Every structure is written in C-alpha cells, then in structure tokens.
Structure 1
C-alpha cells in the first residue's frame, strides 16, 4: 500500500515515520496516519483491479472501493502474487493439524514454503499416539496493520475460520472499516454473530470469532496486548501473526519488541512477513529516494535488508525455523497451469521491470513452540506449524 511501486501495489505501511525527526511528536504522527490512509487506498485499488480482471476472487473488497480503476499489468500481477502467497499461508495454517500416528515428528519437509523452495527443519521427535488431541485444535490469527484487508471474510465464506481472528490498525483506519462492516450484510452475515458490537467510539468491533482493534503497534506490549487479552486472546493456542508491509515502517526496536513478545509469550506461533529488501543496490536506492519525496522512510529495511537477515530476525531469537524468499522465486514456483491462467488475463510484457521489482520484495516466515506442557506436546505443535508452511 502506501510506499514504493511494488509487487501488488505500493507498499503497505500503517506506521511509516516522517523524515522530519526534529518535528513535534503530534506532527510526526499526523504524517504517519496520513500515509496509512494512502497505503490502504493504494492496496485496495490494486486489489480491486486484480479482482476485476480475474486474477483474484474477492467479493468483499468492492465494498471499500468507491471508484475502481484498472491498474497496470505489473501492479495487477504483483497484487495477485502478494495476496496469493499470504492467502496460502493463512489457508494452510487454518487447515493444519496434528498428525494422528504412532510417531509425531516435528520436521518440515525440504520443499516447505507456501509457493516455493527449501526450508530449514526442526528435529524434535516424539513417539506416542495422539488421538483426540489431534482433532479440531483451536487456532488464532492476528493481522498487524490490517487496513481494509478482507482475508477473514474470504476464508470464512469458504468455511475456513480460526477460533479467533484479530485485526489491528490505527483508530482512523479501523473506524472506517468498522462502519463498512457494520452497515453491510455481506459482512455481518459472514460474521454471523447477533451480538456483534461497536466499541471505543466506533473504532472497534467485537464478535465471537472476529475482533477489529484500534491501536499503535509501536506500543504493542503496553497497549495492544491488553486489548487482545480483553477479547479472549489465548497465548496457549497456535497463532498466526501476519505483517504485510508493516514492521518495516516502524523503528527496528519497536518491531523487534513485537517479535520478542510473540517468541517469549506464545506457546506456538507462526509469523509471516511481507516487505521490501535490498536497499543498497541501484534500484533499492532509487526506491528509497522516491519514498523520501513523499516524506516516507523505511526504518526496518536497513535492519533487515536481505533474505538472510529476514531469517535471522527470528533464528537469532531462538525460533525453531525461518525462511525467506523473494517474489521472483514465488512467481517461478507457480504451476504451469496457473501461469497460463494469469497470462491469459492481459498482455504482460514488462518482464525485466517485474523481475527487478520482485527482487526487492520478499515473504519471510518463522515458527516456534515451547515445551510448556511436555516434549510430546511441543513436538505436536511444531508438527502442526511445519504443516502450515508445507506446499
């Protein structure tokens, strides 16, 4: 969303800091929130364009777009790949379960990753049957900087839902989203909770399995965590954390605090990040210059500028496995049938430009589980998380 031209749309960043580091905090936050609005709009229009052309199936995004317009093929294809990769992680996480067998081995196959390549493996093994515990295990999803994302509604409409789905963004963004959801049967019917309630001045929504929460991710432990807990968040449940061009827009200390909290407090978690990389080459430098003309910087890009550093963000903090791939790799991993399908939708002759752009965006994931109950329980949880990132 609100960032450089990128696979899918300009980058999504709800909390991009201003360049003017000596201006008052209120003024800096105004710039941040203004960029958040721009980010949401950019991604929405790119997504709607991709939906209209048949790249994506999303009957909900249209409710957020007033005047849809067709985007260039480069943006349409990028929006498709970005959405497909994160949707695949989400779907596999919802569907993943603890294998019922005499041996539970917490190992991710060498081919693991939603759309592509190799992955590290975990080596925890347990040899005991796992009967009832394997069926219907509860899971949670937390979307950081959700904007007008429709993932919860798309999946629940298909019969795929988590025990709890939490979305978090600035109050200015959540207020707009809450209004659209509350007044539209297309959304309320999917939520399916007669007790669906607005809260905190219309900036939040609460239901049995879906919560839209307002807040600033820079105050994650002090502000966001108490809100999650108040709505039934359970640190013992396997939980997927989604960050779609979000962490890169806040200071590394603030984003690291989120990763540290998740790694320390969750029994089992899968963290998926989509963001920019490679700032030091010619294209990366140009990308950053273009952002600065809009008073936007990417503090996280220098802290985690490469695929390796994206993985080390997690492995250096003790997570069991981590892997990162650029968008070119994900594009190449599409099946021949799927490539034929999307190639038939419109003429796409910007191959070199695409490859350059896609080389500067990545999807990274990591998972961890702690032996709070027993080594067997930990092995089962790791197995579940490994299944979620296996093609």
Structure 2
C-alpha cells in the first residue's frame, strides 16, 4: 500500500497564495495537480496558505492530515532541493525560535537525553522490525558491493569493525547501540567483549535478548554517565543527537574512555553547512532536539582530543537505504496497521521519502571517521 490513492484533486481557487507557490515551483519540474509521479495533487484549498505561513512544518503536517498526495515524495524532495527551495522552506520565525532555544538552552542536556528515545525509538519494535532488515540497523548501509538491504547493513557493520581493527578479547564500547546490531556482530564475528549503551528502553530490551549468550552488556545510559576503559569505541548513528553545545564534552568523554593505543569510529549524518538549525517537522515528529553536525563542527570539537586518521563519505548510499526501508514499510504495514493509525503511516512515509530525496540531492552526507589517540605508526583504512 502506498500513499498514491489517486484521489481527484479539488478545484483550486485562484488565490494569491496559490500563485506564489506556483511561482516558487517554476523551473523545478514540479507541478500542482500534474501527471508526473512527483507532482503535488492538492486535496484541500487551504494547502497553499498553510505552506507559505508554516514552511516545512506546514508541508509535512498537511501531508499527514491528507491535504495533498504525491506518488513519489522522494522525487518531489529531490527536485525541490535541486531547485534551491531548501534554504527558503523554513520560515523566519521557526529559524529564529530554534536559534534562541539552542542559544539559551542545552536542548541535548543530560536531563533531556532520553526524550528522543521515548518519542521515536520506543514507538514500537514491531514497526521497526517490519521496516528494517534482520540486523535491525537503523543507519546507512554500505552498498559498494551489496545488492540487498541486508547485505548492505552487514557490510556497514563489518566496515566499521575492520576500521577498528578489533582483535579477540578486546573491550569495545558501542555508544548508541540501538537494537544491538554492532554489539552482536563484533562479539560473534570478532570475539570482542562489548558494552553497548542506548537511551531507549525498547532498544535495550531487544538488544539484551538478541545478544544473550554473547559477551555483551547493554546499558540504559547517557554517554556522559559512562566510566571505564576500552580498547575500541564505536558510535553509529548517535552523534546526530549530541548537539553543538555538547560536542567538546562528547569527544572529551571518548578520549578519556579510549585506550592510548585504541581506535574510535564515528558514523554520522553530516550537514553541508555549520548553521545551527533543524527542520521544524523532523524536530517535532521524528527526532526531537536532533541537530546535524558539519565537518567544521566535528573537526573543531575533536581537535586536541583525538587524531583524525580517516574520513569516508558514502552519503549517496543513504538514498538507497531509505528507499529500501520505505519498500519494507509499505509491504508490511498491513501486519501492524491495527497497532497504529493512518497518521503514523503517513508520517513515516513522508519522513523516509523526504530524507531519501535529501540524500539524493546531496543536501545531506554520511560520514565514517576514524580517530586514534595520537599513536605512532601508519593507519590504513579498509574500504
């Protein structure tokens, strides 16, 4: 089941708001009520004024409420971003409000660290099991030689493990372990003793069950609560929740936990700019208090703590990963539909599709960065 129900669009009044939206779309190849799969079919006459006043928040909420349809939202997002509408899609009030909040408050403080876990990751393991592959990786797969989502996720886990140069018996810390995918992989295939931490109760319970019988410990903890000493540290898809006010603390924590001969692999989505901002719809409905780091943010925060050994970008692979998740979500939604509502279905379809289009347009990146504790010798990064 997809969102393309081919409901006939409504008769649209010739309003100023409609004319402005159509002018903004000129040259993007996106039309209102057109026949292309990426065209917007408007089902509510107030759609135009809502989008103009609320920007991306209004666009996302109006889709969740059934005000418009689009067969290929991923292609819609790609075309809008390539047309340059991304920078103009957030209202001035939303940008100002986020900057004020981020400037005066630590939105990712220790007290607020568990908000995203409760709002998103605890939504339901049944949903994520249908959307993801059997590894339960909720981060970008590595499609260099893979043909399936599962193969891409296994390749991603193994790429990180090889970059860490894990040897049997090593103590490995997984910051933001999710449903235990890397912890299980490192313990089962590399003989590591893994400690994984997450801020999601649902993830922790699932990870403990899947890693039963392996030398794996799963803790419900914030990274700032950690103590101990580890040969290797990995963090896959968690840094997006750290926040710019905490970047130095994060790298200081990793450096203090990591052995002097150890390696650290950071796997994170990255922003092309260093603006302190967040998409209002994503911030409200998907990842509360999340913010994407730029290359400058990461370099400045890690300087003086760790030595950067390698930086790999495979952001284009996230497009393919997200589209695979969307296909899984659509194919299996009927199995869990009774546990959720139609608004949740539309929310996830919109989220996955818009993000796929963003990576396709190269508006977002995916970085895997290797650090050491300023050890001597040569580091050769696997690929």
TM-score normalized with structure 1 length: 0.48
TM-score normalized with structure 2 length: 0.49
> Rg bigger for which structure?
2
